[in-house]
Amino acid sequence: MKVSAQEEYGLRCLVQLAHLSASESLTLSEIARREGISVANAGKLLWILNKAGLVQSTRGTRGGYQLARPASEIRLSEVIKVLDADEVESHCKSYTGVLEVCVHTSDCGIRPVIQGLHEIVQNALSEVTLAQLVGTEQSVDATLHQIQKLQSRLSPTGGSA
């Protein structure tokens, strides 16, 4: 359960674009330089983001990338989903071991955990927008901890099932 390199770098590139004003744009090489990754790699990431409609590209001499929407309207849940190659559901189709289908198809206790977990993460991510990431660390920190505090208040002892 961790954030992949592609998710991390892709998100960083978006944050760079979020810093710009509406008319500005950044070229691939400039983004790559600022993030300390190769131009080729940045190109791949931006292409993914472009295909998903999160950024807009302009070709030619004065070209570059900019956000397709205001940063305040781009939620991290969407970003992660796009960068994660969208292998969201269909979990029980993979990881089947040697067998053809999941051994736990009938009454599987793990499936809901995997799925529920995913929902929780997406939910938390949907509360944070790119615009917030542009601000100081503190603001984001506050938002996420607000969520967390609520969680711990929920079930102090554990489930009752």
Partner DNA sequence: ACTAATCTTGACTTAAAAGTAAGGTATGCT
Partner DNA sequence: AGCATACCTTACTTTTAAGTCAAGATTAGT
In degrees and rounded to multiples of 5, residue 63 shows phi and psi of: -75, -170
4 binds a copy of itself (CB under 8 A): yes
Q: How far is the CB of 61 from DNA (least distance, A)?
A: 4
Of the candidate spans 7-15, 21-29, 52-60, 61-69, the one that interacts with a copy of itself by CB under 8 A turns out to be 7-15
22 binds a copy of itself (CB under 8 A): no
Q: Which of 21, 23, 61, 106 contacts DNA by CB under 7 A?
A: 61
Burial class (CB in 10 A: 0-12, 13-18, 19+), 140: middle
- Which of these, 20, 39, 41, lies nearest to 30 by C-alpha position? 39
Q: Which residues, numbered 105-144, are part of the site for a copy of itself (CB under 8 A)?
A: 107-114, 116-121, 123-125, 127-129, 132-144
The first and second tokens of residue 125, run together, are 């991510």
Burial class (CB in 10 A: 0-12, 13-18, 19+), 93: exposed
Q: Which of DNA, a copy of itself, none interacts with 161 (beta carbon under 5 to 8 A by kind)?
A: a copy of itself
Query: 25 or 129: whose CB is closer to a copy of itself?
Result: 129
